[in-house]
C-alpha cells in the first residue's frame, strides 16, 4: 500500500479508520434538488460577483483570505488561489457566536463568579473550528437540498458544539493540571481545580438545556452521544495496551471519541435538522469524523514540532503526561526500545527526552501527517459529492486548513 515507510501500522490504521462506512459513501448522493436549488454561482468569476453582491465581507477569494483564517496556516502556497476562506465566508454567521454563548451563560447563572469563570474562554481566542464546521455543513447541506438559509436550530447546534468543547477543555486542564490554555492562564490556575470543574459542568448543563429546547429526539440522542464519547475517550487515555496493534486500535478509538465525535455528531445533527435523508446525514457525519480525526492527528504532531508560544499551551505535553500518540506509535516500528517506555508511560528519568529524540529520528511525524492527509482527502471526497456551492467548496478548504495548521 502507498504509505510512508511501508508501515504495517499505517496499513492497519487505514483499515481501522474505515469502520465499514465508506462503501456506502462512495456512491454519490442522489438527493440533489436541482429545480428548487437557489442560484449560487460556482465558477470563480461568477462566485466573485455573487460574493460582492451578497456581502463583500461574506466571501473572500484569493490568498489574502488566509490571513483572516482563525487557523494559522502560514506555509507558502498551502492554499490554492481563488479559494473560499471558510471563516470569511461565514463571517456574518460566526460574528456573534461568542457573544450569544456568553449571553446564554450569563442569563442562566446566579453566581457572579460562576458567570465570570464560565465565560472566560468565550473571548474569541479559540479557532472556533467546531461552530465553523457545523455552520458550513449546515449551509452546504441546506444548499444541496435547495435552500439558502441557515436554520436557527442549526446555529444553536454550532453554539452547543463550541460549549461542549469548552466544557471539555476546562475538565481536561483540571485532569492534566495544565497552567495555560490559549496563551493565557487556565481557569484552574486563576481560580481553582474545583471551580474549573464546576464551571465546565455549568457550561455543559446549559448546553444540555439548549439541546432539549431543540425538541428533536434524534438530535438529542446524537448530541448526547458526544458527551458519552468525550468522557470515555478521556478515560481510555488513562490506560495502555500491551501490543503494537492493540495500542494503535486503542489510540484511534480514543482519538475518535475525544475529538472526532463532537465534530462528526454536530455535523450529523445539523443535517438531521435540515431533514436530510439517511444517506446525506451519514455523509455529513463522515465528513466531520474525517476532519476530526485529521485535526487530532495534526494536534498530536504539533505537540512534537510546534513551540508553546505558537500553540498557546505547553508542548511535548503528551509524553510528559505519559501519553503515546501517533508519532510515537509509528516511531516504535523503527525503534522498538520505545515499547518499554510506552508501557511505563515515560516515567523513568530521561524517558521523555529519549522518546522525543527517537520520534524525530524516525518517520513517525511524516507517517502521522500522511494519515491525517488521508482523512483530509476523504473529507474532500465527501465534500465533492455535495452540490457545488461556496459552502461545499469551503468544506474542502477546511481540510487544507486542518492539514496545514500551525496552531
Under the rule (CB under 6 A), what is the footprint of ligand GRG?
A: 126-127, 129, 164, 167-169, 171-172, 175, 182, 200, 204, 227, 230-231, 234, 258-259, 296, 299
Based on CB atoms, which residue is closest to ligand GRG, 231 or 305? 231
Minimum distance, C-beta of residue 200 to ligand GRG, in the bound complex (Å)? 5
Q: At what angle do helices 390-404 and 364-384 cross, to 10 degrees?
A: 180
Phi and psi of 184, rounded to 5°? -130, 160
Based on CB atoms, which residue is closest to ligand GRG, 141 or 204? 204
Of residues 163, 92, 86, the one with CA closest to residue 132: 86
Minimum distance, C-beta of residue 301 to ligand GRG, in the bound complex (Å)? 12
Minimum distance, C-beta of residue 361 to ligand GRG, in the bound complex (Å)? 26
Minimum distance, C-beta of residue 289 to ligand GRG, in the bound complex (Å)? 14
Residue 332's SS3 state is helix
Based on CB atoms, which residue is closest to ligand GRG, 172 or 388? 172
Based on CB atoms, which residue is closest to ligand GRG, 169 or 395? 169
**What nine digits make up the cell of 285?**
457525519
Q: Are 144 and 387 in contact (CB under 8 A)?
A: yes
Q: Give me Rg for the CA atoms of the chain.
A: 21
Minimum distance, C-beta of residue 49 to ligand GRG, in the bound complex (Å)? 33
C-alpha dihedral (330, 334, 339, 342), degrees to nearest 10: -40
The partner residues of 264 in beta bridges, in order of sequence, read none
Q: Are 79 and 63 in contact (CB under 8 A)?
A: yes
In angstroms, the CA 288 to CA 260 distance is 7
Based on CB atoms, which residue is closest to ligand GRG, 72 or 377? 72
Based on CB atoms, which residue is closest to ligand GRG, 133 or 359? 133
Based on CB atoms, which residue is closest to ligand GRG, 189 or 244? 189
Based on CB atoms, which residue is closest to ligand GRG, 98 or 335? 98
**What nine digits make up the cell of 353?**
527526552
Most distant pair of Cα atoms in the chain: their distance: 67
Nearest-CB residue for ligand GRG: 126
**What nine digits make up the cell of 191?**
481560580
Minimum distance, C-beta of residue 312 to ligand GRG, in the bound complex (Å)? 7
Based on CB atoms, which residue is closest to ligand GRG, 11 or 238? 238
Minimum distance, C-beta of residue 265 to ligand GRG, in the bound complex (Å)? 12
Of residues 334, 291, 325, 290, the one with CA closest to residue 305: 325
**What nine digits make up the cell of 115?**
458567570
Minimum distance, C-beta of residue 280 to ligand GRG, in the bound complex (Å)? 26
Among all chains, which residue has been given the C-alpha cell 444517506? 279
**What nine digits make up the cell of 78?**
498551502
Minimum distance, C-beta of residue 322 to ligand GRG, in the bound complex (Å)? 16
Residues with Cβ within 8 Å of residue 387, at least 6 apart in sequence: 32, 34, 37, 143, 144
Based on CB atoms, which residue is closest to ligand GRG, 66 or 145? 66
Kindly report the number of other CB atoms within 10 A of residue 46's CB atom: 12
Vertex 90, ends 86 and 161: CA angle to 5°? 90
Minimum distance, C-beta of residue 12 to ligand GRG, in the bound complex (Å)? 23
Q: Are 352 and 320 in contact (CB under 8 A)?
A: yes
Among all chains, which residue has been given the C-alpha cell 465566508? 89
Amino acid at each position: 500500500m502507498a504509505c510512508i515507510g511501508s508501515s504495517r501500522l499505517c496499513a492497519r490504521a487505514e483499515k481501522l479508520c474505515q469502520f465499514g462506512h465508506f462503501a456506502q459513501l462512495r456512491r454519490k448522493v442522489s438527493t440533489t434538488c436541482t429545480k428548487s436549488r437557489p442560484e449560487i454561482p460556482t465558477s470563480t468569476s461568477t462566485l466573485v460577483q455573487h460574493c460582492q453582491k451578497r456581502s463583500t465581507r461574506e466571501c473572500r477569494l484569493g490568498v489574502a483570505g488566509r490571513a483572516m483564517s482563525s487557523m494559522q496556516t502560514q506555509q507558502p502556497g498551502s492554499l490554492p488561489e481563488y479559494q473560499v476562506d471558510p471563516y470569511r465566508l461565514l463571517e456574518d454567521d460566526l460574528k456573534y457566536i461568542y457573544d450569544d454563548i456568553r449571553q446564554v451563560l450569563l442569563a442562566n447563572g446566579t453566581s457572579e463568579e460562576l458567570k465570570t469563570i464560565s465565560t472566560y474562554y468565550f473571548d474569541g481566542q479559540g479557532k472556533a473550528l467546531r461552530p465553523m464546521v457545523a455552520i458550513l455543513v449546515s449551509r452546504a447541506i441546506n444548499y444541496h437540498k435547495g435552500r439558502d438559509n441557515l436554520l436557527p436550530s442549526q446555529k444553536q447546534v454550532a453554539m452547543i458544539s463550541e460549549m461542549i468543547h469548552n466544557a471539555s477543555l476546562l475538565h481536561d486542564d483540571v485532569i492534566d493540571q495544565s497552567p495555560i490554555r490559549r496563551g493565557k492562564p487556565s481557569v484552574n490556575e486563576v481560580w481553582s481545580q474545583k471551580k474549573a470543574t464546576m464551571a465546565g459542568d455549568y457550561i455543559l448543563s446549559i448546553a444540555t438545556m439548549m439541546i432539549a429546547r431543540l425538541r428533536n429526539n434524534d438530535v438529542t440522542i446524537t448530541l448526547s452521544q458526544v458527551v458519552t464519547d468525550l468522557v470515555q475517550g478521556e478515560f481510555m487515555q488513562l490506560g495502555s495496551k500491551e501490543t503494537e496493534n492493540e495500542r494503535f486500535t486503542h489510540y484511534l478509538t480514543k482519538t475518535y471519541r475525544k475529538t472526532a465525535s463532537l465534530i462528526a455528531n454536530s455535523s450529523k445533527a445539523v443535517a438531521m435538522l435540515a431533514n436530510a435523508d439517511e444517506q446525506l446525514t451519514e455523509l455529513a457525519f463522515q465528513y466531520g469524523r474525517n476532519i476530526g480525526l485529521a485535526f487530532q492527528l495534526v494536534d498530536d504532531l504539533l505537540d512534537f514540532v510546534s513551540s508553546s508560544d505558537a500553540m498557546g499551551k505547553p508542548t511535548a505535553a503528551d509524553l510528559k503526561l505519559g501519553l503515546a500518540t501517533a508519532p510515537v506509535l509509528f516511531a516504535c516500528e523503527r525503534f522498538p526500545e520505545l515499547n518499554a517506555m510506552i508501557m511505563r508511560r515515560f516515567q523513568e528519568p530521561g524517558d521523555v527526552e529519549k522518546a522525543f529524540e527517537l520520534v524525530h529520528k524516525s518517520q513517525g511525524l511524516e507517517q502521522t501527517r500522511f494519515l491525517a492527509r488521508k482523512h483530509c482527502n476523504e473529507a474532500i471526497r465527501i465534500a465533492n459529492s455535495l452540490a457545488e456551492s461556496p459552502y461545499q467548496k469551503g468544506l474542502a478548504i477546511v481540510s487544507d486548513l486542518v492539514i496545514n495548521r500551525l496552531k
